[in-house]
Amino acid sequence: MAIKTPREYVETLKDGRVVFSDGKRVNDVTTDKYLKLRVGMHMIDYAFAFEPKYRDIFVEEDEDGEPVSFVYVPARNANDLLRRREIIQLVSRTCYGFPGGAKFTGIDALNALTVVSRRIDKAVGTKYIERVEKFRKLLMKNDLSVVAAVSDVKGDRSLRPSKQIDHQDYYVHVVDRRPDGLVVRGAKTHISGAPCANEILVIPSRRHTEEDKDYAVSFSIPANTKGVTIINSSREISGQGNDFDDPIFSVRHGGHGTVIFDDVFVPMERVFLNGETVFSGEIAYMFGDFHRLSGDAYKYAQLEIMIGAAALMAEYNGLEKANHIRNKLATLVIYCEGVEALGRQACVDCVLEPEFGLAYPNPLISNTAKYFFANYYHESLKLVEDIAGGLVVTSPSGKDFDNPETRDLIKKYFGGKHGIPSEHRLRMAKLVKDLGASDYDVCTIHAEGSLEAQRMSVYTLADFDRYKAAARRVARIDQKPHELFANLPKFPVPGFH
Ligand SMILES: Cc1cc2nc3c(=O)[nH]c(=O)nc-3n(C[C@H](O)[C@H](O)[C@H](O)COP(=O)(O)OP(=O)(O)OC[C@H]3O[C@@H](n4cnc5c(N)ncnc54)[C@H](O)[C@@H]3O)c2cc1C
């Protein structure tokens, strides 16, 4: 059966994987206090296939007529990209603004390899397409959870992988090439969901030169492969409290793993890049292209929550008609809908590779979309916190609300607008508190690539010739006409002014 139930997925995780979290070895990630929250999020990725209303969006038939998860299907056109976007948003709306994660980052890496493997095979005659397609079939037929392990630990950021001083393992690399496979060493970090994934799909995080040939490597292995150790991220605030005090983080845990490869053997059929340095950057950038769009898609679901909370706090405080509040709410809506519009446009204006029948998001717009949501997030949060008031961090706890000795006092003194229960006002304030948590803040800046990565991409992709031509035309220095402006009517209209 190619489609797994959430429970069947959970059973696959009891496989002897080596995971450490919160100071101890975790024998079963599905029962661990923190990681089970991450598993719970992953389960939502599986649950949708069994919801009759959503089945047509989440499920597709493969060539054998078997139902498979649509996310594994390569994108062929704008509609496929928009459908993937819809899937991410449905899952994120379910998981309080976060993507489930079982089939999130890994799909973007798979998509990147799908496009670039074709280019590599064409350029140098390798057989990567065959391997990538075989891997896709494995994922599809077994409905596996797959995460993208892109970010190396990196050591000294100013030094190339092979020039690191302390040791040579800051970037994942090949230490032995055998006829039947590779032996790899190094560590990838921040890998969301790695402790609870079936497959760890490794791709390069950067461009490589010939001297870094051994670092130009991509492969996938099961999370329980010998030599793989996963150290979970610290628990942050997750798993704490209750749904009154911590509406999001009582049920969410990031589960970002540092995945250490200690001389791990990778069978050759699972190797998707092996020293072809010129393609490292292409894979990394193509991943960024897909993944920034995915980030933008779930961020919209987060922003809906954020704006709703701001609007409700304004209402609960009796201030929904105040001018400055309306202005702030309008600014928030402009930000939120701008994020959505950019993301959708990256799909609509996708780039087609007709030779391979594939499509990928418009790189300029997808990078702009990620930059737009990340760069204006903190400014927007400032408006939400301003509207909500100080009780976001000073209000009494859910336990005091439940205590018969204090409940009536809290109800009386934490009221707002007539007719609004005090409990609603307090719950909404706690939601704003969760939305302002550092997990959101830092995630927005760095997840899907730090701001500079988007600026660099946008700078490289921008059509400066067009911009310059536009300016030259107005400054009347048309010495280098541009096709976009060459045939426009003359302005000012000759003889009119
Ligand atoms: C919540 C979260 C989830 C994530 N999930 C995943 C995941 O699932 N898989 C995955 O692979 N990654 C994941 N990431 C990693 C994410 O892509 C990185 O955090 C991001 O690329 C930035 O890398 P870094 O954190 O190592 O920061 P750094 O690279 O250390 O960046 C810090 C600052 O240094 C600058 N900088 C870095 N190198 C240079 C240089 N050579 N020259 C000049 N300036 C430089 C950066 O621009 C930035 O301003 C996740 C991150 C977060 C926060």
- pLDDT digit string, tens, across residues 333-351: 999 999 999 999 999 999 9
Rounded Cα distance between 427 and 412, Å, is: 15
At residue 287, does pLDDT exceed 80?
Answer: yes
The residue assigned the tokens 């959101």 is 440
Reference 190, options 250, 251, 249, 231; nearest CA is 231
Q: For residue 237, what pLDDT is reported?
A: 64
At residue 236, does pLDDT exceed 70?
Answer: no
CA of 17 relative to ligand 1 center, distance in Å: 26
Confidence of residue 1 (pLDDT cuts 50, 70, 90): low
Rounded Cα distance between 316 and 288, Å, is: 41
Longest C-alpha distance within the chain, in Å? 86
CA of 203 relative to ligand 1 center, distance in Å: 15
Q: What percent of the chain has pLDDT over 90?
A: 88
Confidence of residue 178 (pLDDT cuts 50, 70, 90): very high
Q: For residue 238, what pLDDT is reported?
A: 65
Confidence of residue 96 (pLDDT cuts 50, 70, 90): very high
233 C-beta closer than 6 A to ligand 1: no
Output the average pLDDT for the chain: 95
User: Which residues, in sequence order, are CB contacts of 314 under 8 Å at separation 6+?
Assistant: 320, 322, 325, 329, 387
Sign of the CA dihedral running 274, 126, 287, 207: positive
Name the token pair of 414.
């934490």
255 C-beta closer than 6 A to ligand 1: no
**194 neighbors 223 (Cβ within 8 angstroms):** yes
User: From the alpha carbon of 105, which atom of ligand 1 is closest?
Assistant: 8
Name the token pair of 357.
């029948």
Q: What percent of the chain has pLDDT over 70?
A: 99
Confidence of residue 239 (pLDDT cuts 50, 70, 90): low
Rounded Cα distance between 346 and 334, Å, is: 18
User: Which residues, in sequence order, are CB contacts of 409 under 8 Å at separation 6+?
Assistant: none
Q: Residues 194-218: what's their mean pLDDT?
A: 97
Q: Residues 303-326: what's their mean pLDDT?
A: 97
Rounded Cα distance between 86 and 93, Å, is: 10
438 C-beta closer than 6 A to ligand 1: no
| DSSP, res 177 | E
Name the token pair of 10.
């959970």
Q: Residues 248-254: what's their mean pLDDT?
A: 90
At residue 420, does pLDDT exceed 80?
Answer: yes
Give the closest residue (by CA) to ligand 1 atom 50: 447
Q: For residue 54, what pLDDT is reported?
A: 98
At residue 317, does pLDDT exceed 80?
Answer: yes
Q: Which of 110, 145, 146, 190 maximizes ligand 1 atoms within 8 Å of its Cβ, making it the mutation to test the pocket?
A: 190
253 C-beta closer than 6 A to ligand 1: no
The residue assigned the tokens 């916190």 is 385
Cα pseudo-dihedral 66, 109, 287, 120, rounded to 10:
-90
